[in-house]
């Protein structure tokens, strides 16, 4: 089972201009390497059999015949291999020459795809030699002893994916051929290129490829000519990268004097899920409904299970390291602030009321409130921070709550809930020594009642603190912390909350506030509804009860973002958390995730408003609509059989 992945390779062989025998021998070496690593499709540069920079040698009959003989040798070489190879060569067709990509497998030529757009400007003058595939009528040609279709309107189908081909300049066109190919069903686009190099061009090209991949919701394999091409007037640096929906999975170093090959797995199932959800993609398919296309079947290709080269991040919600991380964190934080600012202005409220526990969620919500009031030129004294010590409150969280509110300069109210809860226990006949769900939820609802009534007192609105991970697991008290007048953290998962608080500590706080925020980050996650232990330490740790949030956030991301089934999520989690969690632990918490996710939908069906900050939201008005009584049986059964 390959779990919906296709392993592909972008290969840049060493070449000699016009030496077809040598060039094919180099390609054969890379095909063997790729085949031994389970690659299903390997792609070589434009005109890779002859080399691109042959100039008027393309008019020489000897070169054309040698190119065909070299292709015959390559067909014979791959006769016993399942790998699909895509190579470039000039082909005599209908009285002229076409610059073609040849698709071959197991000794058979599956098709020839001609280049559509032939550049004839600046350093390029290909129209001197080649005709456009758009200007010649498609048809069969006898080559290598086989009748082979020459057509730009072909999609090739392998075991794991369908792929289309464009050649170099085709990508630079206002409407590239790949646009139609993707709308006609190609999951993957391969581009055989001979793009020349000059300062700044590589960055532009990377952007172009990534944008086309993202626009098409497709994988994209780009490979360009490298060392050995003529440098009479230009240099070829050997560009090669593999992209999935706008993200570069693998990239080869440029300017190598040796052969280059980069390999990665493209998640075709993920791409197809994106297309199913994106109704605009489906609507555009009507634009190519009447265009001709042929589906060419390849032989079955056996792949190894899972992924071997592709990195699987264990924290998909946390911005990747690099120069853009600070900007991404700032964007998320600002989106939260913008949402709250609009709500404050619309309701014309004088204050906002936030329950401050000294934990992560309420800390992030308070930071959002402080920044929002600053942007609205309002005094932070209008932020009412209410700390409500209860039976499980520890000195550490209480101290951090008070200290943070003081450091941010907001109005502090302290209301102890113990007496009110004891009276409530008496009213309903509950033994306060029985620390069951009634004991816990009574405290959560008492706190919410206080916040709501305090907001009424001060013409304010209650800012909710609950996060996306808690909503997914139902780890919230219905009509308790589940409820607010605006939930600024509603689409921020726990792992991201933790990261944002740490980011805020390092980027927007002074030294004193930084120390408090970092201590909050290091505090065990807990609702603090059960009394502390004899030493005053937190006894009720959330992750001991529902499981590690980093696992649940991983499950949540892949289940909702792409609709992956439990079996695939399990495989991905094993790879992402290798050495940290064993298989049984992952399976246990994956089962818990699905059980809780389905059973707790009723809490999500009546959520307060809150801003969407990322690709996933559980708002019943936005991204997620699900019956509260949907059965989890299919998902739990698959978890059981892992």
261-283: average pLDDT: 95
In the predicted structure, residue 122 carries a pLDDT above the cut 60: yes
Where is pLDDT greater, at 554 or 226? 554
Tens of pLDDT, residues 227-247? 888 788 888 888 999 999 999
pLDDT given at position 320: 84
User: Which two structure tokens, joined as six digits, stand for 536?
Assistant: 């005053």
Tens of pLDDT, residues 390-434? 999 999 999 999 999 999 999 999 999 999 999 999 999 999 999
| Domain positions in the chain | 5-297, 325-640
User: Which two structure tokens, joined as six digits, stand for 64?
Assistant: 């054309």
pLDDT given at position 228: 84
pLDDT given at position 538: 65
- Known catalytic membership, residue 138: no
Instruction: Residue count of the chain, please give it.
Output: 642
Tens of pLDDT, residues 62-87? 999 999 999 999 999 999 999 999 99
DSSP letter at 581? S
Where is pLDDT greater, at 202 or 143? 143
Q: Please tell me the least confidently modeled range out of 103-107, 116-120, 183-187.
A: 116-120
Same-fold call for 5-297 versus 325-640: no
Maximum pairwise Cα distance, the chain: 101
240-268: average pLDDT: 93
- Known catalytic membership, residue 46: yes
Q: What is the mean pLDDT of the chain?
A: 93
3-state secondary structure of 588: helix
pLDDT given at position 300: 77
Do 146 and 109 contact (CB within 8 A), yes or no?
A: yes
The region, left, alpha or beta by phi > 0 then psi within -120 to 50, assigned to residue 565 is: beta
pLDDT given at position 1: 66
Please tell me the distance from the alpha carbon of residue 57 to that of residue 14, in angstroms, as a whole number.
19
In the predicted structure, residue 534 carries a pLDDT above the cut 70: no
Tens of pLDDT, residues 179-190? 999 999 999 999
Please tell me the distance from the alpha carbon of residue 152 to that of residue 177, in angstroms, as a whole number.
8
pLDDT category at 310 given cuts 50, 70, 90 is: confident
User: What CATH superfamily classification does 5-297 receive?
Assistant: Carbon-nitrogen hydrolase (3.60.110.10)
pLDDT category at 529 given cuts 50, 70, 90 is: low
> What secondary structure does DSSP assign to 358-382, as a single string?
SSHHHHHHHHHHHHHHHHTT--GGG
pLDDT given at position 171: 95
pLDDT given at position 305: 56
Which residue, among 368, 161, 182, has the nearest Cα to 266 in the 3D structure? 161
Tens of pLDDT, residues 566-614? 999 999 999 999 999 999 999 999 999 999 999 999 999 999 999 999 9
DSSP letter at 114? E
The region, left, alpha or beta by phi > 0 then psi within -120 to 50, assigned to residue 631 is: beta
Please tell me the distance from the alpha carbon of residue 393 to that of residue 359, in angstroms, as a whole number.
11
What CATH architecture is 325-640? Answer: 3-Layer(aba) Sandwich (3.40)
pLDDT given at position 512: 85
Where is pLDDT greater, at 2 or 15? 15
Q: Please tell me the least confidently modeled range out of 15-19, 54-58, 302-306, 439-443.
A: 302-306
Where is pLDDT greater, at 229 or 265? 265
- Known catalytic membership, residue 639: no
Catalytic residue among 46, 68, 244, 259: 46
Catalytic residue among 7, 115, 587, 603: 115
pLDDT given at position 145: 93
Tens of pLDDT, residues 441-475? 999 999 999 999 999 999 999 999 999 999 999 99
Alpha helices in 486-548 (DSSP H): 494-507, 511-522, 542-546
Q: Are strands 96-105 and 84-93 parallel, antiparallel or unpaired?
A: antiparallel
């Amino acid at each position: 089972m390959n779990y919906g992945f296709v392993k592909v390779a972008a290969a840049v062989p060493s070449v000699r201009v016009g030496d077809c025998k040598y060039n094919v021998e180099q390609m054969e070496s890379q095909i063997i390497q790729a085949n031994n690593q389970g690659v299903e499709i390997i792609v070589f540069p434009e005109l890779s059999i002859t080399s691109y920079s042959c100039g008027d040698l393309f008019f020489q009959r000897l070169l054309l015949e040698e190119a065909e003989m070299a292709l015959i040798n390559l067909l014979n070489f791959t006769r016993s291999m399942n790998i699909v190879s895509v190579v470039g060569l000039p082909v005599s067709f209908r009285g002229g020459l076409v610059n073609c990509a040849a698709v071959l497998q197991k000794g058979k030529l599956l098709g020839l795809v001609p280049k559509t757009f032939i550049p004839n400007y600046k350093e390029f003058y290909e129209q001197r030699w080649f005709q456009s595939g758009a200007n010649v009528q498609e048809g069969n040609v006898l080559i290598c002893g086989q009748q082979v279709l020459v057509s730009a309107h072909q999609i090739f189908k392998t075991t794991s994916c369908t792929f289309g081909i464009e050649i170099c300049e085709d990508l630079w066109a206002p409407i590239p051929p790949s646009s139609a190919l993707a709308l006609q069903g190609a999951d993957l686009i391969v581009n055989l290129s001979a793009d020349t190099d000059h300062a700044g061009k590589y960055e532009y090209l990377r952007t172009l490829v990534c944008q086309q991949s993202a626009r098409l919701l497709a994988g994209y394999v780009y490979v360009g000519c490298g060392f050995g091409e003529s440098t009479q007037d230009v240099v070829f640096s050997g560009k090669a990268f593999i992209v999935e929906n706008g993200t570069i999975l693998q990239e080869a170093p440029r300017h190598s004097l040796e052969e280059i090959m980069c390999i990665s797995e493209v998640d075709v199932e993920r791409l197809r899920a994106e297309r199913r959800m994106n109704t605009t993609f489906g609507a555009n398919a009507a634009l190519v409904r009447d265009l001709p296309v042929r589906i060419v079947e390849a032989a079955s290709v056996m792949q190894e299970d899972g992924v071997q080269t592709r990195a699987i991040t264990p924290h998909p919600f946390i911005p990747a390291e690099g120069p853009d991380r600070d900007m991404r964190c700032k964007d998320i934080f600002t989106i939260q602030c913008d949402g709250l600012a609009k709500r404050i202005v619309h309701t014309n409220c004088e204050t906002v009321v936030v329950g401050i526990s000294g934990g992560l969620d309420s800390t992030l919500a308070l930071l959002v409130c402080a920044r929002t009031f600053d942007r609205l030129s309002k005094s932070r004294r209008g932020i009412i921070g209410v700390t409500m010590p209860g039976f499980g409150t520890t000195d550490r969280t209480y101290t951090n709550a008070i200290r943070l509110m003081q450091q941010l300069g907001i109005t502090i109210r302290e209301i102890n809930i113990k007496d009110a809860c004891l009276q409530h226990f008496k009213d309903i006949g509950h033994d306060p020594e029985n620390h069951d769900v009634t004991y816990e939820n009574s405290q959560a609802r008492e706190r919410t009642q206080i916040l709501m009534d305090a907001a009424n007192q001060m013409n304010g609105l209650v800012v909710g603190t609950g996060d996306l991970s808690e909503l997914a697991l139902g780890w919230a008290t219905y009509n308790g912390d589940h409820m607010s007048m605006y939930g600024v953290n509603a689409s921020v998962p726990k792992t991201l909350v933790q990261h944002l608080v740490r980011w805020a500590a390092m980027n927007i706080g002074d030294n004193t506030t930084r120390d408090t925020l970092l201590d909050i980050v290091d505090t065990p996650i807990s609702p603090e509804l059960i009394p502390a232990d004899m030493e005053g330490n937190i006894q009720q740790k959330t992750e001991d009860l529902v499981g590690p949030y980093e696992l649940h956030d991983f499950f949540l991301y892949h289940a909702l973002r792409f609709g992956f089934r439990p079996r695939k999520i399990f495989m991905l989690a094993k790879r992402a958390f290798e050495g940290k969690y064993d298989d049984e632990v992952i399976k246990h918490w994956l089962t818990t995730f699905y059980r809780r996710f389905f059973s707790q939908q009723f809490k999500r069906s009546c959520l307060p408003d809150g801003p969407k900050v990322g690709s996933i939201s559980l708002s019943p008005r936005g991204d997620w609509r699900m019956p509260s009584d949907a059965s989890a049986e299919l998902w739990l059964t698959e978890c059981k059989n892992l």
